[in-house]
Chain A
């Protein structure tokens, strides 16, 4: 009998986006992977304290929504991971002290934010030599640092909105000097963002100096690097889900149906089901609430944004999957790159569904891209024989 490939879906983690990750993993990754009936799917949950747990029980969303997860963690021994020229999950079997092992063929990271989406987990998986879904170390690290992503974009001639960035220590040392600099460089309204966090955590819109001061404090509460950028006038926000490696494929350009003052914060995105954005027709409810898919834009502007999104994907070195957020000045007809999300919440399956791709097909293709990328990396020379040691 042919052995089924084992895919470990890793989710949770020590990140402010821990809860979002649980929803992504259970609803958008594990379920469709199991529906393929091609893989043995292993749920690997990283708790908020960093301990790893491997258990089929973790596939049940009720465990998390009911709060029962705390009791589960209380009574369960964390699992361990063996790096044995690959990756093997290990846990107590409950029978006479014996251990249960599972060799993992491929990893599907479903972790948002710090340690999961920022390249840290990818580094571990690269070291283990296991193929994995999504962006590699460098692309993930660039994309998850909004300041770095802007610098890379700028270096590649990709238009971005005007911004100022600084370290938290600058704010602590000389807040008034910094406020003066911001006043000189940027015009209100501005958006203040922690450089590294996703899911809109810690992002505020400021229209005056008092709001700006408070917004800086909030962003610095979450991160050691802060970004302040000018709001694009006549704003239309759009986002483009993209998958693939060398030849990326875009889904449909999506327009979140929110007003500028109700821009997507964490609350709107994930906690209110996007109700602030609910309104005019044509909306579709996804991970980010109600949005227009495809975005109702003039043909030229739509195609301009689509081209820019695909270019950003390649410039950042993305692979597997990502979502490119862009800002459009409707009157000027200008499109600006905003940020890249290397693991879109819920994989943005709602958009891919509209583009004609089912959840099952989406995860299968992502697994395919992971294998393709891994094979390409395997073909590179990383070691070669020398007589250096003998000569030492």
Chain B
């Protein structure tokens, strides 16, 4: 289904009946990545998933956006679809960071929150992030002598090797830079609603220790650890993840 939200053609899928659950995908993904989970949850809930602006089949934002703009966009989407009572918000990866920020700033007010391998902890200086920052700071100077086309290709390879999503969506590079500078730990600490955290022990993109940190910050939260499944645990371990979510939402 398409709707126009804030003058952007927005692609979303609404399925099932019952209390409203909103699914948010991560960076570089789209609602298709959440389709198996949506299909499971639709058996008991009315589930809305959306291609966030710049991803899937939704138009890109007209300016550089951060977590707050994405949060406001989601509120506008719910108004547009006349879906008032948001029961639960489920955010994967960057979708989780958007959710934390939007709830903390009272842009969205779900009754429950599920964070699937949610990102948003930016202060962790892992070796990969360190490499990413070194490349970002030195790369421009080191490659300045190269023609643009070779320079872009080299930068793409280097950022990829450092595990950065900067070039995953080339048209959203500035939005990506703004987003990854936004740490939501302080926002997470203000959350008062029931929160389920689901992380995979073998996730190399957003490590389990981020889940543990959120668990510590969000009073009363529940942490579910899946041993394998990686960053896309809702696809790799769908039955386990769906069961955990359904149990939490009951």
**Which residue numbers of A lie inside 8 Å of B, CB to CB?**
70-71, 74-75, 202, 204, 210, 214, 217-218, 221-222, 267, 271
Contacts and interface: CB of A to CB of B under 8 A. Distances in A.
Contacts of B3: 214, 217-218
A222 B2 CA distance: 12
A71 B7 CA distance: 30
18 contacts: A70-B170, A71-B149, A71-B153, A74-B148, A74-B149, A75-B149, A204-B1, A214-B81, A217-B3, A217-B4, A218-B3, A218-B4, A218-B9, A221-B4, A221-B7, A267-B11, A267-B57, A271-B57
Interface of B: 1-4, 7, 9, 11, 57, 80-82, 148-149, 152-153, 170
Contact of B2 (A71, A74, A204): A204
B82 A210 contact: yes
Contacts of A74: 148-149
B5 to A, nearest CB: 10
Q: Which 6 A-B pairs have the closest CB atoms?
A: A217-B4, A214-B3, A218-B2, A75-B149, A221-B4, A71-B149
Given A71-B153, A218-B3, A267-B11, 9 more contacts: A75-B149, A202-B2, A204-B1, A210-B81, A214-B80, A217-B3, A217-B4, A218-B2, A271-B57
A218 B1 CA distance: 10
Question: Which label, helix, strand, loop or mixed, suits the secondary structure of the A interface?
Answer: helix
Residue among A75, A214, A222 having the largest count of chain B Cβ atoms under 10 Å: A214
Contacts of A218: 2-4, 9
A107 to B, nearest CB: 31
A13 B143 CA distance: 34
Contacts of B57: 267, 271
A204 B1 CA distance: 7
Contacts, number: 29
B1 A221 contact: no
A210 B81 CA distance: 8
Contacts of A204: 1-2
Contacts of A202: 2
B148 A221 contact: no
Contacts of A271: 57
A218 B59 CA distance: 12
Contacts of A71: 149, 152-153
Nearest to A67: B170
Contacts of B1: 204
A256 B57 CA distance: 23
A214 B4 contact: yes
A214 B148 CA distance: 43
A226 B170 CA distance: 33
B132 to A, nearest CB: 22
A262 to B, nearest CB: 11
A214 B149 CA distance: 42
Nearest to B2: A218
A74 B170 CA distance: 14
A71 B3 CA distance: 33
A221 B82 contact: no
Contacts of A75: 149
A126 B232 CA distance: 54
A221 B3 CA distance: 10
A214 B152 CA distance: 40
A202 B9 CA distance: 9
Nearest to B147: A75
Contacts of B149: 71, 74-75
Nearest to A203: B2
Residue among B1, B11, B57, B153 having the largest count of chain A Cβ atoms under 10 Å: B1
B79 to A, nearest CB: 12
B75 to A, nearest CB: 17
A96 B148 CA distance: 23
A316 to B, nearest CB: 29
Contacts of A210: 81-82
Nearest to A205: B1
Nearest to B4: A217
Contacts of A222: 9
A267 B149 CA distance: 32
A117 to B, nearest CB: 21
Given A204-B1, A214-B4, A267-B57, A221 B9 contact: yes
A214 B4 CA distance: 7
A261 B9 CA distance: 20
A218 B81 CA distance: 13
Contacts of A267: 11, 57
A214 B3 CA distance: 6
Contacts of B81: 210, 214
A220 B81 CA distance: 18
A267 B12 CA distance: 12
A218 B153 CA distance: 37
A202 B148 CA distance: 37
A74 B3 CA distance: 34
